Amino acid sequence: MEWLDRQAKNQAGRVALFYQGKSWTYSELNKAMLDLSNQLYHVLPKESKRVAIMSRNSNMMYIAILSLWHLKKEIVFLNTHLTQKELEYQLKDAQVSFVLCEEKFSSLLEDLPVNSLDLKSVSKMTIHSDTIAEVSTISGEDIASIMYTSGTTGKPKGVIQRFKNHYASAVATKDNMAITTEDNWLCAVPLFHISGLSILIRQLVLGSQVTLYNKFDAKKITQDLINAQGTVMSVVPTTLQSLMKELGDREYHPTFRSFLLGGAPASMMSLKTAQAKHVEVIQSFGMTETCSQVIALNNQDAAKHIGSVGKPLKHVELKLVTKSGEEAVANEPGELYLKGPSVVDGYLNDASFKEQYWSADGWFKTQDLALRDDSGYIYILSRLSDLIISGGENIYPKEIEDKCLLLNNVKDVAVVGQEDETWGAVPVVYLVGDVNQAELEKHLKQHLASYKIPKAVYYCRSLPKTASGKIAKHRLLTKEREDFLC
């Protein structure tokens, strides 16, 4: 794999990867990649240009990704939370016949029309052949990865991510966050998600280090950051909240610089809690379709513009478009449109999406509502699909959620729109915590207009989350919500 080969030549003895108490130098990582490539070369069908991978984070998954790219395979990343029916749809849509998987997921694939092999088995195979895989040359136009959207606004779409998109994202992050070879990026987000894969890409392009976790563990990560194991970490709002709670009155080692926050807008309470602990949080906005962040605060602006996701990164263009199709003025909400080298150019197998998600002049329509203040800083208001229109009034769920979280006994919250014969829709709240409805309503009436007050409160044991830790609101709009109610 060309990027890894370059790092292995330039800094062979430098540690590239830490995982569960073990480490690999760039040279060792390159050798492990070549060894696995040679084994996969004799196992994978030569005619298959695409191979799927289904695994939780591990050193084997990490090396398998590098090996598949070395073999010029397009990787279809499968979310480990998918049902068998969802897997069947994605594998068929991507025309995949072979899946590399973690052993625990093998049973999900047994009745599907694909061949599968668990990663441990491949690594232990003995190949009796002198034929080895040749060194690959990567073209920017080559497809690196295909990741499926969640399908919350329709059927899941396969996002085609090219090496040039990933490379542009890595370079833009380097410029914005001043990433160097001395940085160690902690990765507790899934590698099958863009938030995790982008960390791997940054390492290969920039020559930094990665500490990989099998899953998010607030206690373990906090101890690592106190002990100087990490300078930067990617988080989503729920994991940031857990880390701040675990940190308590302690402090991270001075070498830790910042959290890169993405996935969803964070509550003001969480951001101010981090600020009070002198923990820098760089808010950002990115999508699967943009190969990670395209808008972000920088280190200098993180504390001064709390609540904003920042300004567009280098070579990224944006505009906000109103419902009437006009460009929004300052402080006016509009749909966020994007252009730039990290923005993908299409979805798999469905040209009909082109018109829906791309304008005639090439702008990608994000389906996110945002506004730009007088100084040019962007604030994400909600997904278009989350926006609640009640009696002609626009209600942004995040505004209500932020106010709910000001109450100490509210641990987690999600506001969604519920159909209503009179108003079309009304806000309702799903809440984890110990606060009665009367107390909640009294508190919210002090902060919100009457039409924004939730018309019902549903108490939950927990809220549904995606693999990356975001609240999966669409699951609260189906019968599945009953699984979470107290």
Same domain? For 60 and 84 the reply is yes
Could you tell me the CA-to-CA distances from 406 to 270, 273, 402 in Å, in that order? 10, 11, 7
Distance, CA of 57 to CA of 199 (rounded, Å): 12
In a domain, residue 208? The reply is yes
User: What is the DSSP annotation of 6-59?
Assistant: HHHHHSTTSEEEEETTEEEEHHHHHHHHHHHHHHHHTTS-TT--EEEEE--S-H
Distance, CA of 403 to CA of 405 (rounded, Å): 5
Same domain? For 61 and 185 the reply is no
Distance, CA of 270 to CA of 275 (rounded, Å): 9
pTM: 0.85
Q: How far apart are the first and last CA of the chain?
A: 50
Same domain? For 316 and 424 the reply is no
In a domain, residue 16? The reply is no
Number of domains in the chain: 3
Same domain? For 379 and 394 the reply is no
Same domain? For 318 and 407 the reply is no
Closest residue by Cα to residue 339 from 373, 312, 306: 312
In a domain, residue 39? The reply is yes
Domain harbouring 400, CATH code: 3.30.300.30
Q: What element of type H or E holds 159?
A: strand 158-162
Q: Please report how the helices 437-445 and 397-404 are oriented relative to each other, as an axis angle in degrees rounded to 10.
A: 110
Same domain? For 211 and 342 the reply is yes
Q: Please report how the helices 237-247 and 268-276 are oriented relative to each other, as an axis angle in degrees rounded to 10.
A: 30
Asked whether the beta carbons of 172 and 294 are under 8 A apart, the reply is yes
User: End of a domain among 383, 405, 434?
Assistant: 383
Closest residue by Cα to residue 307 from 345, 281, 343: 281
In a domain, residue 119? The reply is yes
Domain harbouring 57, CATH code: 3.40.50.980
In a domain, residue 72? The reply is yes
- Containing domain of residue 443, as a range? 388-483
Give alpha helix (H) positions in 129-162. Answer: none
Q: What is the largest CA-CA distance in the chain?
A: 75
Could you tell me the CA-to-CA distances from 211 to 3, 12, 59, 156, 183 in Å, in that order? 19, 18, 10, 31, 10
Tokens matching residue 213: 């976790």
335-373 core/surface letters (b: 16 or more CB in 10 A; e: else): bbbbbbbbbbebbbeeeeeeeebbeeeebbbbbbbbbbe
Same domain? For 50 and 181 the reply is no
Asked whether the beta carbons of 390 and 425 are under 8 A apart, the reply is yes
Same domain? For 352 and 282 the reply is yes
User: End of a domain among 350, 366, 383?
Assistant: 383
Asked whether the beta carbons of 52 and 91 are under 8 A apart, the reply is yes
Same domain? For 124 and 189 the reply is no
User: End of a domain among 358, 383, 408?
Assistant: 383
pLDDT string in tens for the chain (486-residue length): 789 999 999 999 999 999 999 999 999 999 999 999 988 988 888 888 999 999 999 999 999 999 999 999 999 999 998 888 889 999 999 999 999 999 999 989 988 989 998 988 887 766 555 556 565 678 999 999 999 986 544 578 899 999 999 999 999 999 999 999 999 999 999 999 999 999 999 999 999 999 999 999 999 999 999 999 999 999 988 899 899 999 999 999 999 999 999 887 777 788 889 999 999 999 999 999 999 999 998 877 877 888 899 999 999 999 999 989 999 999 999 999 999 999 999 999 877 778 788 998 999 999 899 999 999 999 998 888 788 888 778 888 888 998 999 898 899 999 999 888 888 889 999 999 999 899 999 999 998 888 899 999 999 999 988 766 778 888 888 888 899 998
In a domain, residue 219? The reply is yes
pLDDT (0 to 100) of residue 179: 94
Asked whether the beta carbons of 83 and 66 are under 8 A apart, the reply is no
Reported residue count of the chain is 486
Same domain? For 85 and 225 the reply is no
pLDDT (0 to 100) of residue 120: 85
Same domain? For 456 and 311 the reply is no
Work out the number of other CB atoms within 10 angstroms of the CB of residue 73. 23
In a domain, residue 223? The reply is yes
Domain harbouring 187, CATH code: 3.40.50.12780
Same domain? For 172 and 132 the reply is no
In a domain, residue 12? The reply is no
pLDDT (0 to 100) of residue 382: 82
pLDDT (0 to 100) of residue 188: 96
